[in-house]
A and B are shown apart, each in its own frame.
Chain A
Amino acid sequence: AQSVTQPDIHITVSEGASLELRCNYSYGATPYLFWYVQSPGQGLQLLLKYFSGDTLVQGIKGFEAEFKRSQSSFNLRKPSVHWSDAAEYFCAVGAGQTGANNLFFGTGTRLTVIP
């Protein structure tokens, strides 16, 4: 069965510092992987996705993620965090024959940015 684990419930970083959010997935086939961001009271915004090809994917707002099949991981990174990045971040894996009939989400990582 598909599942996503985000080991870090809450992370605090200083503005300007680098960021890495961890995501591990369990899926029997080649996964379709996503990172979404959710600000308070808002819906989810897609940051980036991995379907195939280059394992390092670039997203919006300066985020990137690397797919590592051997580690079943898809960690999200940003070299320099801005105060506006404070939000909840969700990793998700797409299921189904075409990879995204429905998404399985992790429990999220809440990011706090301190000045």
Chain B
Amino acid sequence: DTGVSQDPRHKITKRGQNVTFRCDPISEHNRLYWYRQTLGQGPEFLTYFQNEAQLEKSRLLSDRFSAERPKGSFSTLEIQRTEQGDSAMYLCASSLLAGSEQYFGPGTRLTVT
């Protein structure tokens, strides 16, 4: 069990650029979640997948955000036309089943300049 991994760990980009983050869940986990954490706050739910199906999206996930999990394994989160307000830590988590505990990755810290 290698845990949840995320890549990159840090990303600095200029406003208006597109960025893509990757998450590799624990291998046998069916559910994958994305959260966003800003400074001094707890993580906020963005979206989750059951295998390759995206089952729920938060209102925080604007049209500039898109997430995929094409083969039910790794997932990508893309942010188009980044804004300074997108600067945050993006956390990925996975769980074996619905209702079981979520295991978090180390996060990707995005800084938009």
Contact = CB atoms under 8 A, between A and B. Distances in A.
B42 to A, nearest CB: 3
B4 A43 contact: yes
A4 B105 CA distance: 22
B12 to A, nearest CB: 16
A106 B85 CA distance: 21
A46 B101 contact: yes
A25 to B, nearest CB: 13
Interface residues of B, number: 26
B48 interface: yes
Contact of A101 (B98, B101, B105, B106): B98
Range class of the A interface residue count = 20 to 34
Given A101-B56, A102-B56, A43 B107 contact: yes
A90 B37 CA distance: 12
Nearest to A92: B42
Contact of B100 (A100, A102, A103, A108): A100
Contacts of A105: 42-44
A86 to B, nearest CB: 17
B45 interface: yes
A90 B101 contact: no
B33 A102 contact: yes
A79 to B, nearest CB: 24
Given A100-B101, A107-B42, 12 more contacts: A32-B99, A43-B106, A44-B104, A45-B104, A46-B103, A51-B99, A90-B43, A96-B56, A100-B100, A100-B102, A101-B98, A102-B56
Nearest 10 interchain pairs by C-beta: A105-B42, A98-B99, A102-B45, A98-B98, A43-B104, A44-B104, A43-B106, A99-B99, A100-B99, A105-B43
Interface of A: 4, 32, 34, 36, 41-46, 49, 51, 90, 92, 94, 96, 98-108
12 contacts: A41-B106, A43-B4, A45-B104, A51-B99, A99-B99, A100-B95, A100-B101, A101-B56, A102-B48, A102-B56, A108-B41, A108-B42
